[in-house]
Amino acid sequence: MTSGLSRPDSPDTPGASRPEEGEVAPFDGPTLAVRDLRVHFPITSGFLLRRQTGTVKAVDGLSFDIAPGETLGLVGESGSGKTTTGRAILQLQRPTSGSVEFRGVELTSMSAAKLRPLRSEMQIIFQDPYGSLNPRMSAGRIIGEPLAVHGLAGDKNQRRERVAELLGRVGLNSAMMDRYPHEFSGGQRQRIGIARALAGEPSFIVCDEPVSALDVSIQAQILNLLSDLQDEFNISYLFIAHDLSVVRHISDRVAVMYLGKIMELATSAELYENPMHPYTRALMSAVPIPDPRLERQRERIVLEGDMPSPINPPSGCVFRTRCPIATEECAGVVPELTERSPGHRVACIKV
Amino acid sequence: MTSGISNNQADAGLESRHLLDVRDLATRFATAEGYVQAVNGVSFHIDEGEILGLVGESGCGKSVTSLSIMRLVPNPPGEITRGSVLFEGRDLQKISEREMRRVRGGSIGMIFQEPMTSLNPVLTIGRQITEAIEVHLDLKRASARNRAVEILDRVGLPDPRRRFDDYPHQLSGGQRQRVMIAMAISCNPRLLIADEATTALDVTIQAQILELLQSLCEEFRMALLIITHNLGVVARYAQRVAVMYAGKIIETGAADQIYSAPRHPYTAGLLSSVPRLDAAVGARLTPIEGEIPDLANLPPGCAFEPRCRWAVDRCRAESPGLIHVEPGHDAACWEYERVALDLAANRQRS
C-alpha cells in the first residue's frame, strides 16, 4: 500500500511520520495568497450543435491572503460563490483565471500529478459528514487511507497506531476504529472527517460549512475542537459558512461575499463594530441574537427581493438591485474593494 | 391508553380560555426495538396574537408535537396515546376526520421545512393556493385568483401574476417556501404552525418571512407557533418560549425569563453553546458534553442527567416534572435553585 505513491525521499525509517525537512520548504510569507481569482462556468444550449450561450460568474475576481495559523471566514448566502471559492483554491475546480499561491507555490498552472504530493498539506472538511465518508469503510480505514496514499505512516501497525492517536486527538475513542460511519452520530462523523483531514498534517484546511448540519449543542464541540487544533498545529483555515455568528466566532478576519464578489473584508471585531457595506449591514441585522432584550433595540434592515441570478447579474455593483442606498450611479460603476482603514476593505461607492 | 382516569380528567377540563391549549399530549412510535415515546406528556398554550417559540434539537419531539396537534402522525407506526388539544374550545383529538380537514389549512395553517414535499408537483402554484381558498373561504374562482395573487405579492414572490401559472419545479427553494407560506396564510388562519419553516432559507430571506408573519400576528391577532432549533429567531420574535428535550418540555416561560435567567441546565447549556453575533472576539463556547439521547434508550431518571454537571443522586432515580420557579416560569429540574445561583455567580465573574 505504502509503496504505491512513494516519493524518492519518503522516510524508510518506520514511525517517522513527518515528511523530511526539505519537503516543507521554510517559507515566511502567507500560507495562501489568492489574486483576482475567477471561476466562470459556461452555459451551453443545443443538442447536436452545442454552443455557449452565456456564462455564470460563480467567482469573479477575489483577492486575499491567509497567514499561518490564521482563520479567514468566508460568509455569504446560497449562490454567493463561497463553496466554489474553496474548491478553486484547492484546484478541485480549476479556476478560469487568477493566481493561487500556497506557501509561495503557484497551484493554478500545476498538473494534477504535481499537485498530488501537496494535497496532504491542503485539506478540506465538508458539511455533510455522512455523504463525505465512504459507508463501506471503517473509521480506521477512512482516516488511515491518506496516511497510506501519502506514505506518511510506515507499515500497517504504525498506521493503526497513528489512526488511534488521531482519533484520540479529535475526541473519539480509539476502540471505535473498526466501526462504520452509520454507527456514529453526526457530531462523531464530523470528528472522523476532521481526523482524516488531520492525517495529512496539513498547514491549510478549507472548512466548508463544517457545523451547519449539526445540532446546536454539538456545533460548539466541533468549533472548539477546530480552534484547539489550530492552536496546536498552527493550521490556517478558510472557514466557509452562511451563518455570520459562527463565522465571526471562529475567524480572525471575515470576507462577506455576494454574487461572486467580496463586498467587505475586515477583522471580526471591526466587522461587528463598524460594518460599512450596505449588504454587510443588512446581513448583520438579519441575524438574530439570542437575547430578547437586545433584540428589541436592534435596527432591522429588511432587504427586498431575492439575490439575482448569477447568469444575468446586474451591471455595475451586483448588490444595487436590493441595496437601500443605491443610486443610478451604481449601475454604471463596478466598485473596487478599497481599503478604508488598515485591514478594512469595502466595495461600495456610496460609503 | 390503560388509564381511564387521565382521559376523564381531560374531558372534565375541556374548557379553556386559550386559543390553543395542549394538555398532557403523548405520542409514541412502534419500532423494532419496541415503543419510542417521541412526545411524552407535553402541555402548553397559545393565546390570540401571541408568538410562542418551541425550541429543541433534533429528536426532541418538537415536530411530532406539531404533527400530533394536527393529527398528522402516520398511524402505524405512530400513535397518540393520551392528552387533549383544545382549539377554540374544541378537542381536536375528538372531532371527526371530516371536521379535522376543515381545521387543517383553514383555521390552523401549517408550514414545514421541506417545501418540495409539501407542494403538488403537477399543479401550478396558483391552483394549489386557490384550491384551498375555494374550499375554506367559499370564494368563486376569479376572486380566489385575485386573493392568491395578492397573498403571493405579500409574501414577496416577485411578479406574482406571471408566476401564478408556474409549477413548483420552476421556482427556487426560497420561492417555493414563500408559496407554502402563502398557502398557509391564504385562509386567514387563527393559528399558524411554522415548523422549521425558515431554516433552509438564506438569512435575509428568513428575516423577510418572519417580519411578515409577525405583522400578521399584530394585524389580524393570528397566533404563531414557531418550532425551531434557532435560539436567535425565538429571541427576536417570541413572547414566550418552551424548551423541549427527549420528548418533554423541560422549561417554559417568558422569553426574557428563559434567556436572561434560565433554570434548567439544558437551556443554560444551549445558550452558552451558540456563538453570538455580538460576542467578544476570542470568547470560547461552552458546549454541552455528550450526545443527544437515544429515545429508545432513555435513562430512568432525568433524560438530561448523563450530560448534566449539576446532577445529583435524585436525578438518576426520579424524573422531575415541571416545577414552578417564578410567576410564568417553570423548569423540570430538581436542582434548579443551585443551577440559578451558579449561573448568576458565573455571570458576575465575566
User: What is the tens place of the pLDDT at every residue in A94-127?
Assistant: 999 999 999 999 999 999 999 999 999 999 999 8
Say yes or no for a CB contact (<8 Å) between A248 and B203: no
Q: Which of A25-39, B134-148, B217-231 has the highest mean pLDDT?
A: B217-231
Q: What is the pLDDT of residue A5?
A: 39
A187 vs B: CB within 8 A: yes
Average pLDDT for chain A: 89
Chain A residue numbers with beta carbons less than 8 Å from the beta carbon of B260 are 291-293
* pLDDT at site A13: 40
The alpha-carbon radius of gyration of chain B (Å, integer) is: 21
Nearest Cα to B270, choosing from A300, A150, A216? A216
**B141 domain-assigned:** yes
Q: Is A219 on the interface with B (CB under 8 A)?
A: yes
Amino acid A189: pLDDT: 93
More confident residue, B225 or A146: B225
How do residues B196-226 score in pLDDT, each as one tens digit? 988 888 898 889 889 989 999 999 999 999 9
Contact A302 B211 (CB under 8 A): yes
- B156 assigned to some structural domain: yes
Q: Which residue of A has its CA nearest to B294?
A: A185
pLDDT at A244: 95
Please give the pLDDT value at position A261.
96
Using alpha carbons, select from B213, B205, B207, B161 the residue that is nearest to residue B182.
B213
ipTM of the complex: 0.86
**Chain A residue numbers touching B208 (CB-CB < 8 A):** 302-303
pLDDT for res A26: 66
Q: Given CB atoms, is A302 within the 8 Å cutoff of chain B?
A: yes
The answer to whether residue B324 is domain-embedded is: no
Percentage of residues of chain B with pLDDT beyond 90: 67
Residues of B in contact with A221 (CB under 8 A): 287, 289
Q: Measured between beta carbons, which residues in chain A are less than 8 angstroms from residue B288?
A: 217, 220
Q: Do A220 and B207 touch (CB under 8 A)?
A: no
Residue-level pLDDT at A3: 39
Q: Do A300 and B207 touch (CB under 8 A)?
A: yes
Q: How confident is the model at residue A7 (pLDDT cuts 50, 70, 90)?
A: very low
pTM over 0.90? The answer is no
The residues near B250 (Cβ < 8 Å, ≥ 6 apart) are: B243, B244, B264, B266, B267, B304, B322, B331, B332, B333
Residue ranges making up the domain that contains B176 = 117-188
Tell me: pLDDT of B37 over 50: yes
Average pLDDT along chain B = 90
pLDDT band at B116 (very low <50, low <70, confident <90, very high): low
Average pLDDT for A80-103: 96
Q: Which residues of B touch A307 (CB under 8 A)?
A: 202
Q: Is the minimum CB–CB distance between B321 and chain A shorter than 8 Å? A: no
Residue with cell 475586515: A266
Evaluate whether residue B172 is within a structural domain. yes
Task: Confirm whether B132 is domain-assigned.
Answer: yes
Interatomic CA distance for residues A277 and B289, integer angstroms: 38
Q: Is the pLDDT of residue B12 over 80?
A: no
Least confident of A23-32, A35-44, B170-179: A23-32
Chain A residues inside the 8 Å CB shell of B291: 185, 187-188, 218
Condensed to tens digits (0 to 9), the pLDDT of residues A292-313 reads 999 999 988 888 877 888 888 9
Give how far A15 is from chain B: nearest CA, Å. Answer: 33
What are the pLDDT digits (tens) for B40-69? 999 999 999 999 999 999 889 999 999 999
Q: Are A321 and A307 in contact (CB under 8 A)?
A: no
Most confident of A9-13, A42-46, B203-207: B203-207
Cα of A282 to nearest chain B Cα, Å: 7
Q: Which residues contact A46 (CB under 8 A, 6 or more apart)?
A: none
Looking at per-residue pLDDT, the higher value among B299 and B255 belongs to B255
- Among B277, B284, B286, B308, the strongest candidate for a mutation testing the A interface, having the largest count of A CBs within 10 A, is B277
Asked if B260 is an interface residue toward chain A (Cβ–Cβ < 8 A), one would say yes
Q: How many domains is chain B partitioned into structurally?
A: 1
Contact across the interface for A218 and B292, Cβ inside 8 Å? yes
CA B112 – CA B128 distance, rounded (Å): 16
Phi and psi at B118, nearest 5°, equal -95, -10
Q: Which residue of A has its CA nearest to B207?
A: A286
pLDDT at residue B9 greater than cutoff 50: no
- Does the CB of A292 have a partner CB in chain B at under 8 Å? yes
Contacts of residue A272 in chain B, CB cutoff 8 Å? 277-278
What is the pLDDT averaged over residues A205-231?
93
Looking at CA atoms only, how far is residue B186 from chain A in angstroms?
A: 20
Any domain includes B200: no
Q: What percent of chain A has pLDDT over 70?
A: 92
Q: A232 pLDDT exceeds 50?
A: yes
How far apart are the CA of A161 and the nearest CA of chain B, in angstroms? 25
Q: How far apart are CA A206 and CA A31, in angstroms?
A: 12
CB contact under 8 A, A187 and B291: yes
Strands A204-208 and A122-125: parallel
Residue B11: pLDDT above 60?
no
Mean pLDDT of A151-178: 91
Best mutation site among A183, A226, A249 for testing chain B: the one with the most B CBs within 10 Å? A249
A292 and B158 in contact by Cβ < 8 A? Answer: no
Min distance B145 CA to chain A CA atoms (Å): 22
Specify the pLDDT at position B232: 95
Interval B64-99: pLDDT, tens? 999 999 999 998 899 999 999 999 989 999 999 999
Residue B275 with chain A: CB contacts under 8 Å? 220, 223, 245-246, 248-250
The residues facing A264 across adjacent strands are A256, A346
pLDDT score recorded for residue A25: 56
CB A287 within 8 A of CB A256: no
Q: Which residues does chain A have within 8 Å of residue B271's beta carbon, measured at their own beta carbons? A: 290
Question: Is A303 in the B-facing interface, judged by CB distances under 8 Å?
Answer: yes
- Residue B198, domain member (yes or no): no
The reply to whether residue A272 touches residue B277, judged by beta carbons under 8 angstroms, is yes
Query: Which residues does chain A have within 8 Å of residue B289's beta carbon, measured at their own beta carbons?
Result: 221
In a domain, B137, yes or no: yes
**Amino acid A142: pLDDT:** 94
Put simply, whether B107 touches A (Cβ < 8 Å) is no
Angle of CA points B10, B16, B22, to nearest 5°:
60
**A and B: number of Cβ contacts within 8 A:** 144
